[in-house]
Chains A and B, each alone.
Chain A
Amino acid sequence: MRFSIYRYNPETDAAPTMQTMELAGADVTPDMMLLEALRLLKAQDESLTFRHSCGEGVCGSDAMNINGRNGLACTTPLVDLKQPITIRPLPGMPVIRDLVVDLSQFYHQYRSIKPYLVVHDPEPEMEYLQTPQERDKLDGLYECILCGCCSTACPSFWWNPDKFRGPAALLQAYRFIADSRDQATAERLDALEGPYRLFRCHTVMNCVDVCPKGLNPTKAIGQIKKIMLKHLI
């Protein structure tokens, strides 16, 4: 099985290269995920560098660009991939080494939307009550694993990573707006005003296409826009 993998070590390489690497057919099992293949390749060449941890799609470490499309290596079956399997780091982010990118800007945008519940009222002794229907509104929002697949697939984020919050951060902004317990909707909307933070989304929908958890940031962004419009009127 043939791979073409982006290699770059700033200590030794003047520029990145695409390296051809191979796995013997005997090493490849039919139900193998890409992450397992990468680990076998790393056993051949321990300098091959990528992040990974849980191996089951919940920690969000091993996001990368696989045959031109962002995804998680641990939940991408090898059999579905056309050879040579071309693997690059997430696009648009500074590369630290090989498939490892610097996600500082992505995390900064996440922190910027104040991703935490804000309640002004005094706390009751028991839980805040929330109906199952109210809780259902958080489904499809809270499951985000911050892997970065969506924001780094978004042209608006490529052009303005410092100004546009990006789909991942905006999905979380809506997760708190949609939470019946949160009391900071007005502040959250105010903080997203202006031409960039929210409104740079041009509904290209790459984010929806690549999300490994099947979430829909575009829809969430649309909801925020709708509420904001009401808020302005």
Chain B
Amino acid sequence: MHGVNNMTIPMRKFDTLVIGAGGGGLRAALQLAQADANVAVVSKVFPTRSHTVAAQGGMNAALANVLPDNWHWHMYDTVKGGDFLGDQDAIEYMCHAAPRLVVELEHIGVPFSRLDNGKIYQRPFGGQSQNFGGAQAARTCAAADRTGHAILHALYQQNIRAKTHFFDEYFAIDLIKDDEGYILGALVLEIETGEPLIIQAKTTLIATGGAGQLFRTNTNARINTGDGMAMALRAGIPLQDMEFFQFHPTGIAGKGMLISEAVRGEGGYLINGNGERFMERYAPNAKDLASRDVVSRAVATEIHEGRGCGANKDHILLKVDHLGADVIRKRLPGIRDMVMTFLHIDPIDAPIPIFPTAHYTMGGIPTNRFGQVVVPQQQGAEEPVPGLYAVGECACVSVHGANRLGGNSLLDIVVFGRAAGNHIIDYLKENRYSRIASQHSIDAALTHLARWERRGEGETVDGLRNELKAVMDHYCGVFRTEDVLRVGLEKVLQIEQRLQNVYLKDHSKIFNTARIEAFELENLVDLALATVASALARKESRGAHMRIDYPQRDDVKWLKHSLFFKGGALDYKPVRMKPLTVEGFSPKPRVY
């Protein structure tokens, strides 16, 4: 029946389909368009609305414009920051490529802030050191505190110049493939008309970003619902390291908007209810610029132990007024605007109330350093999924390991966006002819598309989504235990069941955002299961995954990546400890 239906669905053909128009997708698209590949970018929002736009503090690269630096130190900091779970070949590749890629962004117009000598301004950020754990480094290249905005707009502008083909406000439903498992594009939905479209492509790149909407209080945009990760799960691909979710130490208390690490990089610091600069106790050397997992736990601990600020002792204060009006106006103008808008206080005069807030998905679709999606085969070795790539927050390459360093996310997306673009160009040279998608695969996608046509009385998308997010906040937060995670898993499984009983009231076709939100909720439920199940299984504490019942890192049993499959099965694979050209960094105690 769907086979007949399928005949009426329009189809477009491209060399490459890029799903997602944030920095990762746009950097890859640019590489492809400049190589004369026929590339389509599908995005559920107009490209400059993608969440890259909200990145504030900057992008790491060992330019050494302010303090001595080299990429090897950057590599060490990234390995250590990720609590030794990152793959060191990919980390070496990223840190080595970083200076070149920052310069490239500058050449295409990114308005970086400047030093007196005319070079790109760099600021200190958390977890950065000179000489493998020595003095604080200044490695984060910044355009004031609007670096993501500056980079995203410049990349979009260059894609305009390169005449990339954009499908703005199209929502990707599912990947399509042939019987041999080659990924051949996706079924997408044009939001404005409600009409489906099959975009066939020889290669497909997923660049759909993270899943911060799993949590009630988060720093993320509403669109961050992990659609590409969930699509990969449905296509039989496991998700890697989903238990590692970053809580940013400084979200605006009770609201969630991000207050960039740049504030501490410029000299701001945290104080508790006693006025004490408490980070000195948790990280004697790095203090407020320890890595994010360390600072988040410290903030949560201070509040938990009754040393919070305010009448309810429920937040911590980020002190900035001592920086002076000039620094705040010049280096942190966006933060100042936001604090004035949402808190009605001027950080020039008063400290900012903060609380650890869900921020970044370290886990995601497993890839190698070329952006190819890789899955385990029968014999244990992993193989690329032909035609499928993933980059950015939706991917797990894994450069961030168990905890991402601030400033490495913008770097990740441009480095691996470019790498994936280059690999795709090679793949296209060797795969000149289009394959035919299997009817079964198209039918499955169409069945999924029709899911929300069902009519009836039941629960609402909004109600179930609120419950899911509350469950994730309560049962899968900064501190975790077996008992709490078990209850959390049970609750998410119940929500998965209840999803069958959710119906839409609005069945109209034109710009039906209720339907898009329903698809997004399905995706979130799958990712919640992946996150809680992976967290329950990992019986150690590493990076952002803190188990009170297993407080130590356990390199004997757990120096390995988790793989979660749809349906609940878990598998593991080794961490790639061997870099490309330098000696690997062996796990050692992580102190800041």
Contact = CB atoms under 8 A, between A and B. Distances in A.
Interface of A: 9-12, 31, 33, 42-43, 46-47, 49-61, 75, 96-98, 100, 103, 107, 111, 114-117, 119, 123, 125-132, 134-135, 138, 142-143, 145-146, 176, 179, 181-182, 214
Contact of B504 (A46, A53, A56, A61): A46
A132 B221 contact: no
B156 to A, nearest CB: 9
Interface of B: 45-46, 48-51, 53-54, 102-103, 106-109, 111-120, 143, 146, 149-150, 153-154, 157-158, 160-161, 192, 221-223, 257-258, 334, 337-338, 341-342, 344, 460-463, 504-506, 508-514
A69 B569 CA distance: 54
Contacts of B108: 116-117
B51 A54 contact: yes
A11 B508 contact: yes
A128 B111 contact: no
A88 B227 CA distance: 31
Given A46-B505, A54-B222, A132-B113, 20 more contacts: A9-B510, A43-B462, A47-B508, A53-B51, A54-B49, A57-B337, A58-B54, A96-B511, A97-B510, A116-B108, A116-B109, A123-B107, A126-B119, A127-B106, A128-B106, A130-B114, A130-B118, A142-B143, A145-B48, A146-B46
B149 A11 contact: no
A11 B53 contact: no
A116 B512 CA distance: 34
Nearest to B51: A54
A9 B194 CA distance: 13
15 contacts: A47-B505, A53-B45, A53-B223, A55-B222, A56-B257, A59-B45, A59-B49, A59-B54, A98-B511, A107-B46, A115-B160, A116-B154, A125-B103, A132-B115, A176-B109
Please give me the 5 A-B residue pairs with the lowest Cβ-Cβ distance, nearest first: A129-B118, A117-B109, A116-B157, A46-B514, A47-B506
A111 B160 contact: yes
A97 B514 CA distance: 13
Contacts of A128: 106-107
Contacts of B153: 142
Contact of B103 (A31, A46, A53, A127): A127
Contacts of B161: 114, 116
A110 B53 CA distance: 18
A135 B113 contact: yes
Contact of B221 (A53, A107, A111): A53
Given A116-B158, A142-B111, A56 B118 contact: no
B119 A43 contact: no
Contact of B146 (A46, A143, A179): A143
Contacts of A130: 114, 118
Contacts of A52: 222
B48 A146 contact: yes
A181 B48 CA distance: 23
Nearest to B146: A143
Contact of B111 (A31, A58, A135): A135
A67 B460 CA distance: 31
Contact of B514 (A47, A117, A182): A47
Nearest to B44: A53
B514 A59 contact: no
Contact of B157 (A58, A61, A115): A115
A98 B344 CA distance: 31
Contacts of B509: 11
A53 B49 contact: yes
Nearest to A182: B109
A54 B160 contact: no
Contacts of B508: 9, 11-12, 47
A46 B54 contact: no
Contact of B460 (A43, A56, A111): A43
Nearest to A213: B337
B103 A126 contact: yes
B49 A100 contact: no
Contacts of A125: 103
Given A75-B341, A143-B149, A55 B158 contact: no
B16 to A, nearest CB: 22
A130 B258 CA distance: 30
A53 B222 contact: yes
B205 to A, nearest CB: 21
B513 A49 contact: yes
B51 to A, nearest CB: 7
B116 A132 contact: yes
Contacts of B344: 31
Contacts of B49: 53-54, 59-61
Contacts of B115: 132
